Amino acid sequence: MRATVRTHIVLSHLTPNESITVVNTCSGNNSNNNTNCNTTSCGCPYVDSIRKRESEHSTTVNDRRPVRVLITGAAGQIAYSLLPMVASGKMFGPHQKIILHLLDIEPAKTVLDGVVLELEDCAFPLLAGIVATTDLKTAFTDVDYALLIGSFPRKEGMERKELLSRNIAIFRTQGQALNSFSSPSVKVLVVGNPANTNCLIAQRFAPRIPKSNFSALTRLDANRAKSQIASKLKVPVDSVNNVIIWGNHSSTQYPDIRYAYVDSNSGNSGSSHRERVVRSVRSEVNDDKWTREQFVKDVQQRGAKVIGMRKLSSAASAANAIVEHMRDWELGTEREGEMVSMGVWSDGSSYGVEEGLIFSFPVVCARGGEQRGRYRIVKDLQMDEESVRMMKATEKELVEERNLALEVLKASENSQKSK
């Protein structure tokens, strides 16, 4: 279906098969609230809102003091890509001073010290200090943001349960450290795999911190999906919006394009043409078989493909996704009403997902005001039969991981009691 409209549209409510052509009527001096003007000098409300957005992004997270950002696994490969981005202002804007807290384990201490030398050599104006340590208390004290990247890697022949046990030990102690030493409003992003379940463990051991302050990274999966769609439709990647990742950061995740749209005015594609075209991705792709059988699988398997070729897991793309996740969470999503994907606490009230899981949902992050720094799960999307099936499969895996984790925790508590 294609309709031509001249009024304000709420893009997140574009239904799966709709395309809309928005005719811009602004002619350089618009005072009629036309949200689709793409001129830059007319002074109309739409342009004002872009300027406001830019200035929101360039303001500081906290005007009075540098913020403390903890990165665990700081001697690892994701951190190596991530650190220059954080220290140069890509995460929290070009005016926010940062003190980096870098944690790694004792065997990686020399590498960590080498990373510190490099950071010093970058002479980043925003970098107000570096705390590099192998001590948990020093690392977690007073941090405002905790990016938990370091984890125990899966080794050949290792059972899932053993991997989980190793990681439970790490994320339990880190959860306790968050609880005891970090700012009570600390925002936590778990990247180390299995990210959703590690996040759940950290959260469980940090009761002082609100549950909604914990998240797991699925933004990389969303970016992978976005990029696949852009390449399929031969459109700029930045014009693709609202691709959703549901569930676990694993091969059961459900990449969903039913509410995605291509906006001819977004990002790089911002043409100087007056006509703005908003098209449903699903109707543009027009090939549900490709979506179901190729696209979904390609996104689910993309991480494994990178490992197969690089012999190392995704690092640059993971670092980029971490920056985008934290920036949107703290400063708000780029476009009004835009949905992004975050693994967050399920309270049981969204899409029938069991309470107590860290599940990737579409969220909108507030762009200012009292809600700034908060996200809300987008709740009113319709689920078709296939979507329900995919959601159930990824939910089932998360329930199994959680149950296994609880079993491991119980066994370790029992063995401590009997000592």
Q: Cite the active site residues.
A: 249
151 binds ligand NAI (CB under 6 A): yes
Nearer to ligand NAI, 38 or 81 (CB): 81
Q: Closest approach of Cβ 249 to ligand NAI, in Å? A: 5
Tokens 């109309």 found at: 44
195 binds ligand NAI (CB under 6 A): yes
127 φ/ψ angles, rounded to the nearest 5 degrees: -85, 105
249 binds ligand NAI (CB under 6 A): yes
| Helix, strand, coil content of the chain in percent (nearest 5) | 45, 20, 40
315 binds ligand NAI (CB under 6 A): yes
On whether the CB atoms of residues 68 and 38 are closer than 8 A, the answer is: no
Nearer to ligand NAI, 46 or 345 (CB): 345
On whether the CB atoms of residues 343 and 216 are closer than 8 A, the answer is: yes
394 binds ligand NAI (CB under 6 A): no
| Stretch of residues binding ligand NAI (CB under 6 A), selected from 14-22, 85-93, 188-196, 376-384 | 188-196
Rounded CA separation 140/182 (Å):
5
Among 71, 75, 199, 200, binds ligand NAI (CB under 6 A): 75
| Stretch of residues binding ligand NAI (CB under 6 A), selected from 23-31, 118-126, 204-212, 308-316 | 308-316
| Stretch of residues binding ligand NAI (CB under 6 A), selected from 271-279, 310-318, 364-372, 391-399 | 310-318
Q: Per the omega criterion (within 30 degrees of 0), is the bond before 236 cis?
A: no
Q: Long-range contacts made by residues 107-116, C-beta under 8 angstroms, separation at least 24?
A: 108/75, 108/76, 109/75, 109/134, 111/75, 112/74, 112/75, 115/74, 115/75, 115/79, 115/80, 115/83
Give the count of beta carbons closer than 10 Å to the beta carbon of residue 347. Answer: 12
Rounded CA separation 153/159 (Å):
12
Nearer to ligand NAI, 53 or 109 (CB): 109
Nearer to ligand NAI, 46 or 205 (CB): 205
Among 21, 39, 77, 412, binds ligand NAI (CB under 6 A): 77
Nearer to ligand NAI, 154 or 274 (CB): 154
Tokens 């795999």 found at: 193
Among 66, 89, 150, 247, binds ligand NAI (CB under 6 A): 150
Among 14, 149, 201, 257, binds ligand NAI (CB under 6 A): 149
On whether the CB atoms of residues 130 and 55 are closer than 8 A, the answer is: no
Rounded CA separation 377/157 (Å):
38
Among 28, 129, 153, 352, binds ligand NAI (CB under 6 A): 153
Question: Contact residues for ligand NAI (CB under 6 A)?
Answer: 72-73, 75-78, 103-105, 108, 149-153, 170, 191-193, 195, 217, 220, 249, 313-315, 318
